[in-house]
Amino acid sequence: MAESDPGAARRHVLLRLLQLGGLSAGAAATALWLSRRRPSEEPALTFVQRNFTVPQDPALPAMAVTQGDDPRRLVRRAIDDMGGIRRFISRGDAVVIKPNVAWDRTPAQAANTNPDVVAEMVLLCREAGARSVIVTDVSIHDPRRTFERSGIAPAARAAGASVLLPESRRFREVDLHGEVLRSWPVFQPFLEADKMINMPVAKHHSLTGVSLGMKNWYGILGGQRRRLHQRIHESLADLAAFMRPTLTVLDAWRVLLRNGPTGGNLEDVALKKTLIASTDPVGLDAWAARAWWNLDPPQLPYLKLASARGLGTVEFEKLRIRVSSCCEQPSS
């Protein structure tokens, strides 16, 4: 299987594959408030595990793109192309999977992560010997209804995961050590994992242009998250520095091209039959933003801020990338 080399020509070819939709399917006051926000009565947690990354392997890709006709098989193929699940999950690990489960929407509306993609990742983690697998998110709409209507709760449970809905008693005040984000309530499971799998869905966002891997970290927070929109790009860079995942797996089976992040109109959704896995969250966001929205880093300040902090590269064409198709196996 051929691997990409840096260069404009290769970049064009890779992006074109994504754009075609599948190999097989053809403010100062606000800053002050954020930095000086009074913590709750519970003391801030200063020392928490937040870097869940695994060692880089120069012989393996930093990104894998796969396209085909079955979302579950896309997950397995992408993880195999990245070196296999045991590169990321070890026996006895406590794994947290963070899909986007923000909105009371159906899978067809593409506002949340595809439930089949989530379920297959749960199965892979269990096959690797994970001690526990938790699927959770801090939803914006009613969590119980959102987890059920999205299909994620039943699919994750059927695959053997524990599904945790956000409860106020399970938030902990944490010092995020950010330039904008300081003391903030974080949902406890995100502080206690051994490994963290970020599983966003690819969609448009009215403020940032796109909602991809880095934007998905808003779902670890409680509190008045809308206040963060005043300095959203700095907030995203702070969150990316605080929560460094083991792996980012971007669901682009369906892509919400317009009217995100909530969506609702099926005419805004495009079937792309694509999944991207990467150990470089900045590079992954940069690629997807360019491929489906024609947005470059100068138009996405949060990516430039994250890259400047050493969290990844906006020059995704320089990454070691593997592209593959994942076709249905013939029936026996």
Are the beta carbons of 63 and 284 closer than 8 angstroms? Answer: yes
Residue 303 lies inside a defined structural domain of this protein: yes
Task: Note whether 212 and 284 are within 8 A (CB).
Answer: yes
**Amino acid letter, residue 219:** G
Cα angle 325, 133, 239; round to 5: 80
Q: Give the chain's domain count.
A: 1
The type of residue at 97 is: I
**Range with the lowest mean pLDDT among 11-25, 49-63, 251-265?**
11-25
Omega of the bond leading into 261 within 30 degrees of 0 (cis): yes
The answer to whether residue 331 sits within a structural domain is: no
Q: Answer for the pair 112, 99: CB distance below 8 angstroms, yes or no.
A: yes
pLDDT reported for residue 48: 61
Q: Per the domain annotation, does 200 fall within a domain?
A: yes
Which sign does the torsion angle of CA 63, 270, 264, 287 carry? positive
Q: Which two tokens stand for residue 8?
A: 């404009």
10 confidence band (pLDDT: 50, 70, 90): low
Which range has the worst mean pLDDT, 35-39, 136-140, 186-190?
Answer: 35-39
Residue 2 lies in a domain: no
Residues whose CB is less than 8 angstroms from the CB of residue 35 and which lie 6 or more positions away in sequence, other chains included: 180, 182
Q: Using 50, 70 and 90 to split pLDDT, how confident is the model at 168? A: very high
Whether 47 maps to a domain, the answer reads yes
Amino acid at 64: A
pLDDT band at 68 (very low <50, low <70, confident <90, very high): very high
Average pLDDT, the chain: 88
Domain for residue 26, yes or no? no
* In-domain check, residue 284: yes
pLDDT tens per residue across span 96-136: 999 999 999 999 999 999 999 999 999 999 999 999 999 99
- pLDDT tops 80 at residue 180: yes
Q: Which CATH number does the domain housing residue 213 bear?
A: 3.40.50
Between residues 196 and 18, the one the model is more confident about: 196
Whether the Cβ atoms of residue 243 and residue 197 lie closer than 8 Å to each other: no
Nearest Cα neighbor of 323 from 120, 127, 66, 46 is: 66
pTM above 0.85, yes or no: yes
Q: How confident is the model at residue 37 (pLDDT cuts 50, 70, 90)?
A: very low
Range of the domain at 174: 41-264+278-324
pLDDT digits 0-9 by tens, 269-316: 999 999 999 999 999 999 999 999 999 989 999 999 999 999 999 999
Q: Does the residue 224 lie in any domain? A: yes
Higher pLDDT, 229 or 5: 229
Tokens of 220: 């670890």
Would you state the pLDDT for residue 206?
A: 92
pLDDT the model gives residue 326:
82
